[in-house]
Amino acid sequence: MSAPATTIDAPPEGRARSLWKRLRDGDEIAHTVTFLCAFAVIAVTALLVFELYRNSEPSRLKFGWSFLWTKTWDPVAGKFGALPFIYGTIVTSALAMIIAIPLGVGAAIFLAELAPPGISSALTFLIELLAAVPSVIIGFLGFFVLLPALLRAEPYIRSALGWTPLFSGPFYGVSFFTAGVVLSVMIVPFIISISREVILSVPSDQREAALALGATRWESTWDVVVPFARKGIVGSIFLALARSLGETMAVTMVIGNDPKISASLFAPGYSIAAVIANEFAEATGDLYQGALIELGLVLFALTIIINGAARILVVSTTRKGTSQ
């Protein structure tokens, strides 16, 4: 591009030259501005990690790596361990994903491919509204509506799944299970809304080609459109996962806030975000505050590790059969 420009249109000299150059450098300006935007985001993240690392020093020095696998959380004795909280965070998020992924992707396929346009746009509007509901409201619904409903449904769940260790022991309503279900309600709109947009943006000649080859409508959707949109759908799932790992208010209302590790999903538990929200305001002393801040650091690391692992999994399984 620049080579012909120099020959056809020789650059002016002196003052005029620098003005001309500056005008040509519009690209440079746009480049700089957008770079600064991107850099600001990274800088804020880096600062966050640095501050978490710095302020968790009393706890890091005292407990070292054993913080990660210690089960005791005793503010009075000054003994702090993160394991029950890490466990609770992973279990509730995993449960939420197990419920939300099939539900969300299924709904997105229906809304984008199969539903009549009127119904699709009306439902999409409602689903996006659900995504905007504040988490404390979802927490209230979980506590006052879902929790009594689960208590009533308990005998049926037990008779169907009670033989597994996952549904043993007493059930008080607040549990890993309740927290997982509440989280799935919170993240499903993200999966539906983004996946639907991605599926809608698949070029229609893809569908037409499949249909022309004799595929049924479902075959064209499932074998051609969904694989084409796979990357975007996976992206929506990552966003949902990040949200569920860090969710605070709704989880603390229904998880039971008991730092214990139990195999049963019916048992009460605790999550990292919930304990920070519960105890930070009244935490006195550098060690106690440091331990809570270190939990924040652990949550950050956990998010990166889980997201990274999921990404590797996706990359290793999507080599063939997709167009992107």
Question: Where on the chain is the footprint of other proteins (CB under 8 A)?
Answer: 72-77, 143-144, 147-148, 151, 170, 172-174, 252-253, 256-258, 268, 270, 274, 277-279, 281-284
Phi first, then psi: give them for residue 267, nearest 5 degrees: -85, 150
Helix (H, G, I), strand (E, B) or coil at 73: strand
Q: 3-state DSSP: the chain helix, strand, coil percent, rounded to 5? A: 75, 0, 20
Cα–Cα distance measured from residue 79 to residue 16, given in angstroms and rounded to the nearest whole number? 71
Nearest residue (CB) to other proteins, 284 versus 324: 284
Phi-psi map region of 170: left, alpha, beta (phi>0 left; psi -120 to 50 alpha): beta
- Considering the complex, what minimum distance in angstroms separates the CB of residue 212 from other proteins? 58
Nearest residue (CB) to other proteins, 81 versus 246: 81
- Considering the complex, what minimum distance in angstroms separates the CB of residue 35 from other proteins? 38
Nearest residue (CB) to other proteins, 13 versus 282: 282
Nearest residue (CB) to other proteins, 135 versus 221: 135
Nearest residue (CB) to other proteins, 102 versus 148: 148
Nearest residue (CB) to other proteins, 234 versus 295: 295
Burial tier of 280 (Cβ tally within 10 Å: 0-12, 13-18, 19+)? middle
- Considering the complex, what minimum distance in angstroms separates the CB of residue 76 from other proteins? 4
Cα–Cα distance measured from residue 75 to residue 156, given in angstroms and rounded to the nearest whole number? 39
Phi first, then psi: give them for residue 80, nearest 5 degrees: -130, 135
- Considering the complex, what minimum distance in angstroms separates the CB of residue 269 from other proteins? 10
Token pair for 146: 């879902």
- Considering the complex, what minimum distance in angstroms separates the CB of residue 261 from other proteins? 15
Q: Which secondary-structure segment (H or E) carries 201?
A: none
- Considering the complex, what minimum distance in angstroms separates the CB of residue 71 from other proteins? 11
Cα–Cα distance measured from residue 167 to residue 266, given in angstroms and rounded to the nearest whole number? 6
Report CA Rg, the chain.
26
- Considering the complex, what minimum distance in angstroms separates the CB of residue 59 from other proteins? 16
Nearest residue (CB) to other proteins, 49 versus 283: 283
- Considering the complex, what minimum distance in angstroms separates the CB of residue 137 from other proteins? 15
Nearest residue (CB) to other proteins, 199 versus 293: 293
Nearest residue (CB) to other proteins, 56 versus 175: 175
- Considering the complex, what minimum distance in angstroms separates the CB of residue 94 from other proteins? 22
Helix (H, G, I), strand (E, B) or coil at 80: strand
CB 79 within 8 A of CB 70: yes
DSSP-derived secondary structure for 126-194: HHHHHHTS-HHHHHHHIIIIIHHHHHHHHHHHHHHHTTSGGG-S---S-SHHHHHHHHHHHHHHHHHHH
183 Cβ contact list (under 8 Å, min separation 6) = 92, 93, 95, 96, 100, 244, 247, 250, 251
